[in-house]
């Protein structure tokens, strides 16, 4: 099977790769040293890397004001192409159009790329927050991220010269879209489902994944290895958990695991759409959308991220959702089930969520065997057991995460 038989990248017949290599990269690095420097946040750095590897095809750089406004309001760029979340770069002072700037990671101080500034503009942050996140409350981590942006947005095409520490730290797990597409083509997969993960896999994740395997040629377990909010489990621990589960409980011929460098925005429905956009660029035809996908707290309804796909116009997005109902362990069914398959009552169900699992482990709580595989729980207990008191963050339960979990997981 050839790569051309896979789903096309979003809005383009081929991947738009902005990452320079070899002599071209070395020359750009030399040029960058003489340019004014703009320091990026980890979110902006992750976005730049995704631009570089083609994950954000068809974008060629950070968005201008017309694209920013159209994306916020109508999920549509000025050229009419669907895009659900702004991809922007902020700076603390105005920069004249025509200026070439050097883009530097604020985390590592490494030169990450260059940009020709075509436009410099200011935004209404509340407008962005309300349209993209559905709230302007500072408690929302995505809103907090937007409000922390500097005063000016810089727009223009980019050249990318580094993927930061991701290839070194995550090895073969870190994957470019061209690489995942090559793997899918070699396996002869056409219908490929993506599973988004920001938590270690518990039994609900495993159940969703195996449903997808049943109805697809293969499954792409795609792990976020960028930054999360305080209290979430760090990438290296999550990767260890997921790799262990795949090794012991999946047919490895039907599963590919990969990692990508973005920070979570916790934008709920809008982020679910963004996940589908870049999974299409990685070669996936379907995106698993379960309960409270990419949500935080009680800001979104449990199935808002599924329903938003129904609001899209024809041709907006080729990657389709694989919507799956609320899942849980049923003691009477003696296995995993969903609202569509289980006839029993709430008292017979153990509702599973990453939040409930993190809360129980961080507080030294007892975790039922049905919540997660023992090999995964062992890794997580070792992680939480090694935390110092000042490293621990209180994990707050919310309505979508609790169900019966608070009753079943005892302190």
Q: Are 122 and 151 in contact (CB under 8 A)?
A: yes
User: Within 10 A of 190 (CB to CB), how many other CB atoms are there?
Assistant: 16
Mean pLDDT over 144-162 rounds to: 98
Q: Is 92 exposed, middle or buried (0-12, 13-18, 19+ CB in 10 A)?
A: exposed
* 303 pLDDT above the threshold of 70: yes
CB pairs under 8 A, 24+ apart, for 389-395? 392/362, 393/230, 393/231, 393/362, 394/231, 394/362, 395/231, 395/355, 395/358, 395/359, 395/362, 395/363
Tell me, yes or no, if 198 is annotated catalytic. Answer: yes
Tokens of 374: 């023992």
For the full predicted model, state whether its pTM sits above 0.85: yes
Location of structure tokens 């290895």:
225
Residue 407: pLDDT band with limits 50, 70, 90: very low
Residue of 43, 181, 198, 270 with catalytic role:
198
Model pLDDT, residue 360: 80
pLDDT, tens only, 171-228: 999 999 999 999 999 999 999 999 998 878 888 889 999 999 999 999 999 999 988 7
Strands 327-330 and 349-351: antiparallel
Directed axis angle between helix 354-362 and helix 374-385, to 10°?
50
The per-residue pLDDT of the chain, averaged, comes to 91
pLDDT, tens only, 63-121: 999 999 999 999 999 999 999 999 999 999 999 999 999 999 999 999 999 999 999 99
* 404 pLDDT above the threshold of 80: no
Location of structure tokens 């320091």:
39
Residue 368: pLDDT band with limits 50, 70, 90: confident
Strand, coil or helix: 317: coil
C-alpha span between 47 and 63 (Å, rounded): 11
Location of structure tokens 């105005």:
94
Model pLDDT, residue 393: 55
Region(s) of the chain under CATH 3.40.50.620: 328-408
C-alpha span between 406 and 411 (Å, rounded): 9
C-alpha span between 269 and 295 (Å, rounded): 8
Model pLDDT, residue 54: 98
Residue 386: pLDDT band with limits 50, 70, 90: confident
Region(s) of the chain under CATH 3.10.400.10: 3-166
Q: Residue 146 is inside which H or E element, if any?
A: helix 141-147
Model pLDDT, residue 235: 85
CATH topology of domain 328-408: Rossmann fold (3.40.50)
Residue of 43, 199, 265, 291 with catalytic role:
199
pLDDT, tens only, 23-49: 999 999 999 999 999 999 999 999 999
Mean pLDDT over 234-263 rounds to: 93
Q: Are 290 and 327 in contact (CB under 8 A)?
A: yes
Q: Tell me yes or no: is domain 3-166 CATH 3.50.50.60.
A: no
Model pLDDT, residue 392: 63
């Amino acid at each position: 099977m050839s790569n051309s038989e896979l789903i096309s990248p979003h809005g383009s017949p081929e991947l738009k790769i902005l990452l320079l290599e070899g002599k071209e990269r070395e020359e750009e690095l030399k040029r960058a040293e003489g340019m004014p420097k703009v320091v990026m946040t980890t979110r902006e750095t992750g976005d730049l890397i995704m631009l570089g590897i083609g994950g954000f095809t068809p974008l060629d750089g950070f968005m201008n004001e017309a694209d920013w406004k159209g994306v916020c309001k109508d999920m549509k760029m000025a050229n009419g192409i669907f895009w659900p979340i702004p991809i922007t770069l902020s700076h603390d002072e105005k920069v004249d159009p025509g200026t070439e700037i050097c883009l530097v990671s604020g985390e590592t101080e490494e030169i990450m790329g260059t940009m020709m500034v075509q436009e410099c503009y200011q935004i209404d942050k509340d407008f962005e927050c309300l349209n993209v996140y559905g709230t302007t409350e500072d408690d929302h981590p995505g809103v907090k991220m937007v409000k922390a942006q500097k005063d000016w947005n810089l727009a223009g095409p980019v050249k990318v010269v580094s993927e930061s520490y991701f290839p070194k730290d995550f090895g073969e797990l870190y994957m470019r879209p061209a690489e995942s597409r090559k793997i899918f083509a070699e396996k002869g997969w056409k219908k490929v489902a993506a599973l988004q993960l920001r938590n270690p896999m518990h039994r609900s994740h495993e159940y969703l994944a195996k449903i997808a395997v049943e109805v697809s040629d293969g499954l792409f377990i795609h792990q976020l290895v960028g930054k999360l909010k305080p209290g979430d489990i760090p990438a290296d621990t999550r990767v260890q958990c997921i790799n262990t589960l795949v090794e012991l409980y999946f047919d490895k011929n039907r599963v590919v695991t990969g990692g990508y460098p973005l920070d979570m925005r916790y934008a709920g429905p809008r982020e679910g759409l963004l996940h589908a956009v870049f999974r299409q660029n990685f070669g996936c035809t379907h995106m698993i959308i379960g309960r409270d996908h990419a949500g935080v707290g009680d800001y979104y309804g449990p199935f808002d991220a599924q329903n938003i796909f129904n609001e899209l116009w024809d041709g907006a997005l080729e990657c389709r959702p694989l919507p799956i109902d609320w899942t849980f362990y049923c003691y009477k069914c003696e296995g995993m089930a969903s609202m569509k398959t289980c006839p029993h009552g709430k008292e017979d169900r153990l509702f599973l969520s990453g939040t409930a699992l993190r809360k129980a482990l961080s507080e030294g709580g007892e975790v039922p065997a049905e919540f997660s595989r023992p090999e995964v729980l062992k890794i997580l207990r070792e992680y939480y057991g090694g935390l110092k008191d000042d490293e621990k963050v209180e994990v707050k339960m919310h309505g979508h995460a609790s169900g019966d979990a608070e009753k079943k997981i005892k302190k």
